[in-house]
Structure formats: C-alpha cells, structure tokens
Amino acid sequence: MIMEIGIDSFASAMYGTTGITPGLAMKELLERIALADQAGLSVFGIGEHHKNGFLDSAPAVILAAAAARTKQIRLTSAVAVLGAADPVRLFQSFATLDIISQGRAEMVVGRGSSVEAYPLFGLNLSNYDELFSEKLNLLLEIRKNEFVTWHGKFRASIDNLPIYPRPLQEKLPVWLGVGGTPASFERAGRLGLPLMVAVIGGFTERFRPLIDIYRQAGAEAGFSADALKVGLHSPGYVAADDQSAITEYYPGHVDQWNRIGRERGWAPITRAQFEFNVSPRGVLVVGGPETVAEKIINHSKSLGGIQRFTFQMDNAGLSHSQLMNAIELIGSKVIPMVSKSVVD
C-alpha cells in the first residue's frame, strides 16, 4: 500500500521571530496548501484551537478556501474536537467541504488535548469521555443514514429527520485521532475506523503495542487488514541537510514547547532532550531529505506498517519561506524515496 505523506497545521499566527498579522498568516497558510497540492503531497490537515495565537477555530472554513485553490490534495481536520462540537453541524460542514472540493474532504476527530473549547461552549470537562463517545456514535450514524433517529444524554433527540447536504463521497472518511490511551485504540479498531496516532515525544516505537491492540480489535470485529489504516502525526521539518534543519528548527521548537509546558506544568526542554528526539528512533522527523525519508520508513516498520504520515511544522518559529522550501523538498525528494522503499 502506498504511503500518503502530508502536513498538518494549527494555523499559527506566531511563527517567525516577531509574529505576523492574522491576515498575512492566513494568506501564507493558503499559499502553503496550494504549494503542497502542486508538489504532490497527499493530504493537508487543519487543527482546532480556541485561543490566542491560533487561527484554526473554524477549520472547515480554512479548508474550503484551500479547496478553491487546489485540485488533488485531500483536505482534513487535524483534529476536530468532536466532544465540544455538534455532530450534525460538523458533518454538514465537511459534507459541504466535500462538495466544494469535488470529493476530497476527510475528518480526523478526537477528544482534543487542548480543552479550552469545552468551557467556551458550556460543556463540563467531567463529561470529557462520555461526550466524545456519544457524539462519535451520532456522527457515524449521520454518515451512514440520510434520515436519522437518535437519542442520547448530551444532545436533543433526533426523530427520523434528514441531514443535508450529503457528501459526494459515498462514505465520508472519518479517522479517529488518538494519543496514548489503550481504550481509544481499541475503540477505533472495534469501529473499523482509520487511526491517526499523534506522537509528540519519546520513541515512536513505544506505540506499537497500542497499534497491535487496534489491529486485534479490528480483526475481532470482522474488519479486513486493508480497512485498518494507521497514520502517524509527528513534529518535523525538512531542509537541505541535517545540520541546516536542526539549526533552523531548534530555537522555535524549544520556545513553542516551553510555552505549552508553562501552561501544563511541564519541565523546560533541554538540548539533550531535543537531541534524543531527533535521534533515529526519536519522534522529531527533522533533517535533510534522506534522513527524513529514512526515519519515516523506519517508523513505519517499527509500527508494523503505516499508511499515512503527516508533518506538524508551522508552530516551531519557522518562516514562511522556510516552510515553503520544506514542502518543495517533501514533494520532490522525500516522497519519491519513501514511495520507492514501500514499493520495493
């Protein structure tokens, strides 16, 4: 199976040394998506945050603007915070995106590691797991049926009502975005949903037992191995050579990581930890094209085979020109090397 390679963005308005205006940040983000399409990348995802410094509170709107500028690349959420959303409206937004893009829309849904959406929309964080489970079931029911009858705990009932528009694709792709909870991997397998694993620290191979849980649960539920696709989302960056990539990536990555760490009570990252993460088995996919391609291939082998890899690049202090150059290198050099290895 050919591996899809793409990019996920949180629509950061803080990249670069001094930050940029929201208008310019959005303009340049759309330019990068257009270039990713021209360069032959398979997918571009937009995350969801509801706080200062991020422009991705309405990812479907950004993706719709991108759809008008692109022809081939698939457009997805990365992730949509389903527990804080109305599944009806979320489905309608991405069904509309599917129509605009002529059948290129997808969703990656998850509980979300950033929880600011829950109080913003009047939801109780103590219901974090229940909200996601119930809303995922409703979303899949809407995807399956034009007329829906549904009753739940957190949303008004639906009594044999139609939900429009319907997407162009017969079955709008819905991936389940997960972190490190075994129950989430098991649920994705049991439901036969493609799995997108977000790995942001440590050795990527440590997720193999969890992915095995996913594959076993899917097999026991009667899904074929081909249906149980695995994607990997990791921070990364590509430059002309390894040293250039590390030199350009390190300052912004540390600044961004420590900013998040202060919010969540994490210790500051050290240079030794960074070196650990850029090592061959570490999570950061940073380097020249050959190093990056080799690392993606090795990550795939260590996880028993992955079908999609997405870079998270634009929240590490990198300039627009650096990000554009990275996209060109991914398309012209990384993808051919990875594809050759997968075929061989």
Confirm if 273 and 313 have CB atoms less than 8 A apart.
no
The structure tokens listed for 31 are 């330019």
User: What is the pLDDT tens value at each position of the chain, 344 positions in all?
Assistant: 689 999 999 998 765 556 688 999 999 999 999 999 999 999 999 999 998 889 999 999 999 999 999 999 999 999 999 999 999 999 999 999 999 999 999 999 998 777 899 999 999 989 999 999 999 999 999 999 999 999 999 999 999 999 999 999 999 999 999 988 999 999 999 999 999 999 988 899 999 999 999 999 999 999 999 899 999 999 999 999 999 999 999 998 888 888 777 777 778 888 999 999 999 999 999 999 999 999 999 999 999 999 999 999 988 889 999 999 999 999 999 999 999 887 66
Q: Tokens 């079908």 belong to which residue? A: 307
Cβ neighbours, 10 Å, residue 109: 27
Q: What is this structure's pTM? A: 0.95
The structure tokens listed for 188 are 């994705």
| CATH 3.20.20.30 describes domain 4-343 | yes
Cis peptide before 165 (omega within 30 of 0): yes
Collapsing DSSP to helix, strand or coil, 216 comes out as helix
Provide CB contacts within 8 A for 292, sequence distance 6+. Answer: 236, 238, 285, 286, 330, 334
Separation CA 185–CA 209 (nearest Å):
10
Confirm if 43 and 6 have CB atoms less than 8 A apart.
yes
- Which of 33, 24, 26 shows the shortest CA–CA distance to 6? 33
